Amino acid sequence: MGGGGQQTDRIADTNGRFGTYTWEEVQKHTKSGDQWIVVERKVYNVSQWVKRHPGGLRIIGHYAGEDATDAFNAFHPNLQLVRKYMKPLLIGELEASEPSQDRQKNGALVEDFRALRERLEAEGCFKTQPLFFILHLGHILLLEAIALMMVWYFGTGWINTAIVAVILATAQSQAGWLQHDFGHLSVFKNSRWDHLLHKFVIGYLKYGIKKIKNLPYNHQHKYFFFIGPPLLIPVYFQFQIFHNMIAHGLWVDLVWCISYYVRYFLCYTQFYGVLWAVLLFNIVRFMESHWFVWVTQMSHIPMDIDYEKHQDWLSMQLVATCNIEQSYFNDWFSGHLNFQIEHHLFPMMPRHNYWRAAPRVRALCDKYGVKYQEKRLLFCCTILWKN
């Protein structure tokens, strides 16, 4: 948790006061350099600590003056450890007469959602099936091996090269979904293993894309306009990836990234030469990047995307996110992001359990009149194309 909080935050910003607060008082502290959040009715002064927040200052700052309990539960794998680091930031709690929710949020809906999460945890929906991820990694390595063997046995003709490019793009896309699993800390109980495997997959298997630090979900609908132009992925992002790692001294990430290029060019320059190997590389990236964009945007672009309206966690995700109909192909093609609603509500739930949570989430939405939308793959692709 970035070294914990500082006792000086409490004294400097509250004049040594440690007591109870109303929502009106909490909501006065929403600006940069003066930010309070509420978690489980406890009030925390995170004014200075936001800069050290491992998840980035924008995410925690987004909840300044609000109840952040559901986001807190959603994004932290070891809540007991996190609470320990938060103790120096604690400045008090809400007054007994104050509701647990701010801004007239539906308290019954929020409590029912938290009860649902507890039931899903008790039923093992947050437990990983190791075989699922072992097989997923295995099929990525198998695709990589098939592509190389095809060049080895069938040569570098146009038709064979086109098939090889499709296979490599498929492997890259599937590696993208796997690194996404590790990035969300949804595989191992110990997050250190998630971080290590994340670096291996995103660096060694997937050419070292290093995202800007934990870009928040409210930016996802904008990715299309960054990635859409065909040359942006193979040219600009290559420069941006290396520049970001060097500028921030991310030397371990840089080594992982370089390891991909060493592996790729050792495998393919012996058949294609340097120039054609570079061309094949960019063709693969072009295809894979479009696969990525279509999958990640088809659950957002058809929905209402607007500025924050201070909704509860469930309603906020449902208004801007939809699911794509479930099938074995859709699950594989999208890395289970066809269950985008469940993924946003429970970002650390292993994706092979989304189907178990979906009926419960839908029932909760029906109970409170929250619209739960599931659309056809072709329909969402059509909307995305029009946009």
With a cut of 60, say whether residue 53 has pLDDT above it. Answer: yes
Edge-to-edge strands of the sheet including 19-21? 19-21, 90-94, 42-45, 34-39, 30-31
pLDDT, averaged across the chain:
86
Distance CA 294, CA 169 (A): 14
Average of pLDDT values for 134-161? 97
Query: Contact, 37 vs 46, CB < 8 A?
Result: yes
* Residue 387 to residues 78, 288, 300, 307, 382, Cα–Cα distance (Å): 40, 20, 12, 19, 9
Phi, psi of 92 (to 5 degrees): 160, -155
Which pair of tokens denotes residue 161?
Answer: 């090269």
Q: Rank 11-25, 337-351, 371-385 by mean pLDDT and report only the highest.
A: 337-351
Work out the number of other CB atoms within 10 angstroms of the CB of residue 151. Answer: 20
> Coil, strand, or helix at residue 66?
coil
* CB burial of residue 195 (10 Å; 0-12, 13-18, 19+): middle
Work out the number of other CB atoms within 10 angstroms of the CB of residue 8. Answer: 10
Average of pLDDT values for 58-65? 88
Domain 7-104 has CATH 3.10.120.10: yes
* CB burial of residue 10 (10 Å; 0-12, 13-18, 19+): buried
What pLDDT shows up at residue 238? 74
In DSSP terms, 19 is beta-bridged to: 92
Q: Rank 59-63, 128-132, 199-203, 223-227 by mean pLDDT and report only the highest.
A: 128-132
> Coil, strand, or helix at residue 228?
coil
Give the start-to-end residue ranges of the domains of the chain: 7-104, 106-387
Distance CA 264, CA 232 (A): 21
What pLDDT shows up at residue 251? 86
What pLDDT shows up at residue 232? 56
Residue 45 is classified by DSSP as E
Which pair of tokens denotes residue 386?
Answer: 């029009």
Higher pLDDT, 197 or 253: 197
Distance CA 219, CA 383 (A): 19
* Residue 285 to residues 129, 164, 168, 280, 331, Cα–Cα distance (Å): 30, 13, 9, 9, 22
What pLDDT shows up at residue 320? 84
What pLDDT shows up at residue 367? 97
Query: Contact, 310 vs 362, CB < 8 A?
Result: no
Each residue's pLDDT tens digit, 219-240? 444 444 444 455 555 566 777 7
Residue 374 is classified by DSSP as E
Got the DSSP string for 98-124?
S-SSSTT--HHHHHHHHHHHHHHHHTT
Lowest mean pLDDT among 75-89, 123-137, 297-311, 347-361: 297-311
Q: Which amino acid is at 126?
A: F
